[in-house]
Amino acid sequence: MTFCTDCGEKLPENAYFCPKCGQRTRSGAEAGISTPWEDLRETFSKMGEEIENAFSIAGKEMEKALKIARDKIVEATSKEPIICPDCEEKNPASTRFCYNCGKKLK
């Protein structure tokens, strides 16, 4: 007579799974029967990989978008430079203080 390793339920000789709690029996393990939970875990690990891939793709797309945004900012700010009245340094249009001398710009 075999007993369930998990709940102690009496098991039929040829049982691969405990009829009470679903735990795989020793004969089930010896027969190489995988529990539904193990299948589930495999599915989840595959899903994890796919999620990771999706994130890395999203990361690349994000990088690209950021680069475009940065280029646009550079383009916008380089159009009309503000010339510092103090040191005559050219500052990007969005600058509020001269990056060379710290003078407040209009």
The burial of 18, by beta-carbon neighbours within 10 Å (0-12 exposed, 13-18 middle, 19 or more buried), is given as buried
CB 10 within 8 A of CB 1: yes
Site for Zn ion in 16-35 (CB under 5 A): 18, 20-21, 23
Pick the stretch among 29-37, 43-51, 58-66, 90-98 that binds Zn ion (CB under 5 A): 90-98
From CA 94, how far away is CA 80, in angstroms rounded? 9
Given the rule CB under 5 A, which of 30-38, 40-48, 62-70, 81-89 is the region that contacts Zn ion? 81-89
97: which strand partners? 104
Which of 86, 93, 94, 97 binds Zn ion (CB under 5 A)? It is: 86
- Residues of this chain that bind Zn ion (CB under 5 A): 4, 6-7, 9, 18, 20-21, 23, 84, 86-87, 89, 98, 100-101, 103
